[in-house]
């Protein structure tokens, strides 16, 4: 009886291992900050970046593509390797640190030991591939904490997907990366000219 249980246990492990190895899932991330082509000095003090808000379909692990304005499909073999709200927030922080040669860019809010001078908020309302393009629609806002001065802007980007296959996850993620680079640059320019 023990020999029988051991054999079944080994077979179950081999079967499970085989199922795991047969998985063709590809994992993608967008959290690596791009390198700015130009950097600036910033004398505005500490910058706080609130966690980026994203549409509910981006909380799924499977990459979503839009079939129409009201229907999405989840790609079965392409998944996000990170939580996009956290990943995109960290990416924006890293980009602003590089852009302004400034290490004092942090997630906001944080403990009371540091106080932000400027707070940045980003709400993404659409970030998805549809047809041969990726669409990124967002609202961003810069607020000077002490004076309560606010600057808000809309962002709308359309980036072509460099593949004839509209379900090519690698090309979709590459286009999403380019769209987010444009958003990062617009936010950085907003911070640079914020007075």
The pLDDT tens digits along the chain (195 residues) read 566 565 656 656 555 554 444 558 899 999 898 888 888 887 768 899 999 999 999 998 899 999 999 999 999 899 999 999 999 999 999 999 999 998 889 998 876 466 888 999 999 999 999 999 999 999 999 999 889 999 999 999 999 999 888 789 999 999 999 999 999 999 999 999 887
pLDDT at res. 8: 59
pLDDT at res. 111: 60
Confirm whether 167 is domain-assigned.
yes
CATH code: domain of residue 127: 3.40.50.10610
What pTM was computed for the model?
0.84
DSSP per-residue letters across 107-175 = EES--TTS--SEEEEEEEEEEEEETTEEEEEEEEEEEETTT--EEEEEEEEEEE-S-S-TT-HHHHHHH
pLDDT at res. 57: 93
Tokens at 168, concatenated: 């090519």
Confirm whether 10 is domain-assigned.
no
Confirm whether 118 is domain-assigned.
yes
Q: How many domains does the chain have?
A: 1
pLDDT at res. 115: 82
Q: Which domain holds residue 153?
A: 26-192
pLDDT at res. 56: 94
pLDDT at res. 20: 47
Confirm whether 183 is domain-assigned.
yes
pLDDT at res. 85: 95
Confirm whether 13 is domain-assigned.
no
pLDDT at res. 19: 45
pLDDT tens column, 66-123: 999 999 999 989 999 999 999 999 999 999 999 999 888 999 887 646 688 899 999 9
Confirm whether 16 is domain-assigned.
no
Looking at residue 193, what DSSP letter applies?
Answer: T
Nearest to 134 by CA among 166, 105, 87, 175: 175
């Amino acid at each position: 009886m023990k020999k029988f249980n051991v054999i079944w246990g080994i077979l179950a492990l081999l079967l499970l291992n085989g199922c795991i190895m047969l998985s063709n899932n590809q994992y993608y991330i967008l959290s690596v900050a791009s390198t700015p082509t130009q950097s600036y000095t910033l004398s505005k003090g500490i910058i706080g970046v609130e966690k980026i808000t994203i549409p509910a379909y981006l909380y799924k692990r499977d990459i979503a593509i839009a079939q129409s304005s009201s229907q999405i499909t989840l790609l079965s073999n392409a998944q996000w390797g990170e939580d996009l709200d956290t990943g995109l927030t960290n990416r924006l922080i890293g980009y602003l640190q590089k852009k302004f040669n400034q290490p004092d860019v942090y997630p906001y809010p944080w403990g009371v030991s540091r106080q932000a001078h400027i707070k940045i908020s980003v709400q993404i309302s659409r970030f998805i591939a549809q047809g041969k393009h990726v669409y990124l629609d967002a609202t961003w806002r810069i607020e000077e904490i002490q004076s309560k001065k606010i600057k808000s802007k809309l962002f709308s980007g359309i980036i072509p997907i460099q593949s004839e296959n509209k379900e090519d996850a690698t090309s979709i993620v590459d286009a999403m990366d380019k769209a987010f680079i444009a958003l990062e640059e617009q936010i950085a320019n907003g911070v640079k000219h914020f007075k």
